[in-house]
Amino acid sequence: MLALRVVSPALRLTASFARIASALAAAALVASCEPGATSAVSTRAPDGRGVPATAADVSVERVVLQAYRAIADRHILTPDFRQLSAETYRGFTSGDPALSLDAGDKVFAVYRDGRQVLSRTAPSDVTDGRAWGSMLAELFSGSLEASPALKLADRQTLIKQAMTATTRQLDRNSRYADPDEARENRFQRDGGGGIGITVERVDERHVVVRNVQDGGPAAKAGIRAEDRIVEVDGEPIGDRPLSEVVRRLRGTIGAPIQVTLFRPAEQRNFSVAFKRARIVPTTVAYERRGDTAFIRLTGFNTATTENLRSTIERARADIGRDMAGLIVDMRGNRGGLLDQAVSVSEVFLGDGLIFATQGRHPDSRRSYRGSGRKSGDLPVVVLLNGQSASAAEIVAAALQDRGRAAIVGSTSYGKGTVQTVVRLANEGELVLTWSRLHAPSGYTWNELGVMPNICTSKVGDIDRLAADAAEANRSTLVRWHAARNPTTEEVAQLRQNCPPADGLSDRDVAIATKLLQDRDLYARAVRAGTDLAYR
């Protein structure tokens, strides 16, 4: 999902730029919008805040008014609010089948068991989101009074039903996140108070520490991977839902915590007391593989670029002057913050055009150019698969178009849009598609994806990998980059040239290593992906 984070009901954007266009861009989030894209078990970056006491009591009417105003102002397309309102209402009342809606051209009438209970005049302008939101709020209020089932229903559930029905009508990347999911999304992006571990429930009695963040409070307290959490602040957690365990581990920065654990290797329980700190999830991991630096990039949050730069320097010091190059593994990377996609690209490109955006709102139309320092000119191979999306695709498309890296793997997901994240009054988030992304050469990979320079599935014997393997994709890449508004059929045909793959194939790494060992082969692969129309 490429999204712009709006942090208040007044639609104020968090950014450090003076103009709103820059604010929108800098706060943009480039991450897949598919549910489940963010891990719910990581305890490494809570925001340190719970839902305000008033959030659970926020009226559905207030939320729908805010949402409809945001849709009218910011969605990439001009919505038909007549159709949208009908579907939103049906989602809202889905818990009471006795209620029905007659969405006429001039009047919206609500019936209960076949008897009309209220009606409202439909606004004449189908693009006036504020007017339709106001009408819908009145229908919600009247329906709550007319329906015992809705009156007893949880307000957050009603909001989720209404907002999910709304976003389903917009596009595949617009969505609603309830307060719990929204908080998870925020700490994955921005960090917050935590202890620096990732946990997993392995059975109904045991929660296991899977990863411990270097330098975090848990690491300093001596907690290790595979330790099992027994108690948090004196409360047993064995049979508690994992989400509750995570909430207990998170908290205000600086707040004390005591954790009791069982260490299987030593067959003993032990307790540690320490303080929570600001934790940002680790998105960069390094492994030396001979004379090559293998860097795994799992997401784009506020610390990604800084960690990437320091990781490259660490690799240089570790491997030395004979370092052959970098393999940047972005397979499965679902995205993150837009400004980090820009700055990560700058690490490899320095200056020049990185990408451009186009949308309905005037502030959505702009170009993003690098202005940062480049971390050397070492050869780079980027790994992609069918789950690489958004920010990962921005970086890959820019490096490919600019002739800075060879892309290896399969066609990526095809998430080529930016979303704005509107923080709603109930502490949930409305994610709206705001603009479409364009690579330096001008093509858009939305739905299409980024095509690799070398498609792993088309390579036979890796040991005999030759220049013709790199050149084989040349004609396809030319057609790929020439496609400006491909039809669904054209997209499907193009993607069949290198079908999206899941998983982490060892063949991808083997091909990348082969390229870095053969500079002539690497140069030919890079040229095969460079669009000659780029300036």
**Rounded Cα gap, residues 120 and 322, in angstroms:** 74
Average pLDDT of the chain to the nearest whole number: 85
For residue 375, the SS3 value is coil
pLDDT band at 57 (very low <50, low <70, confident <90, very high): low
**Res. 18: pLDDT tops 50:** no
User: How confident is the model over 195-209, as pLDDT tens digits?
Assistant: 999 899 888 888 999
pTM score of the predicted model: 0.78
Residue-range domain boundaries for the chain: 78-169, 192-279, 284-421+432-529
Closest CA to 30 of 297, 283, 342: 342
**pLDDT at residue 171 in the model:** 92
Q: What number is the average pLDDT over the span 339-367?
A: 93
For domain 192-279, the CATH superfamily is: PDZ domain (2.30.42.10)
- Structure tokens, 103: 């969405």
**Res. 425: pLDDT tops 80:** yes
Go through 502-534 and write b for each residue having 16 or more CB atoms within 10 A of its CB, e for each that does not. eeebeebbbbbbbbbeeeebbbbbbbbbbbeee
**Rounded Cα gap, residues 485 and 31, in angstroms:** 23
**Res. 20: pLDDT tops 50:** no
What is the CATH number assigned to the segment(s) 284-421+432-529? Answer: 3.90.226.10
The single residue of 388, 390, 435, 505 carrying the catalytic annotation is: 390
Verify whether residue 401 is a known catalytic residue.
yes
Q: What number is the average pLDDT over the span 354-362?
A: 92
pLDDT band at 468 (very low <50, low <70, confident <90, very high): low
- What's the half-sphere exposure (Cβ side, CA atoms, 13 Å) at 219? 13
Closest CA to 256 of 224, 216, 227, 217: 217
User: How confident is the model over 124-182, as pLDDT tens digits?
Assistant: 999 999 999 999 999 999 999 999 999 999 999 999 999 999 999 999 899 999 998 98
User: How confident is the model over 251-310, as pLDDT tens digits?
Assistant: 999 999 999 999 999 999 999 999 999 888 889 999 999 999 999 999 999 899 999 999
Q: Is 169 exposed, middle or buried (0-12, 13-18, 19+ CB in 10 A)?
A: middle
Verify whether residue 415 is a known catalytic residue.
yes
The single residue of 32, 143, 415, 514 carrying the catalytic annotation is: 415
Verify whether residue 100 is a known catalytic residue.
no
**Rounded Cα gap, residues 412 and 393, in angstroms:** 7
**Res. 24: pLDDT tops 80:** no
**pLDDT at residue 458 in the model:** 87
Strand (E) or helix (H) holding 328: strand 325-329
For residue 26, the SS3 value is helix
Place of tokens 């008033």: 54
The single residue of 329, 363, 401, 531 carrying the catalytic annotation is: 401
Rounded percentage of the chain residues whose pLDDT exceeds 70 = 87
Other C-beta atoms closer than 10 Å to the C-beta of 205 total: 9
Select the more confidently predicted residue: 74 or 54: 74
pLDDT band at 53 (very low <50, low <70, confident <90, very high): very low
Q: What number is the average pLDDT over the span 356-364?
A: 91
Q: What number is the average pLDDT over the span 401-415?
A: 95
284-421+432-529 and 192-279 share a CATH fold: no
Torsion of CA 29, 30, 34, 39, to 10 degrees: -70
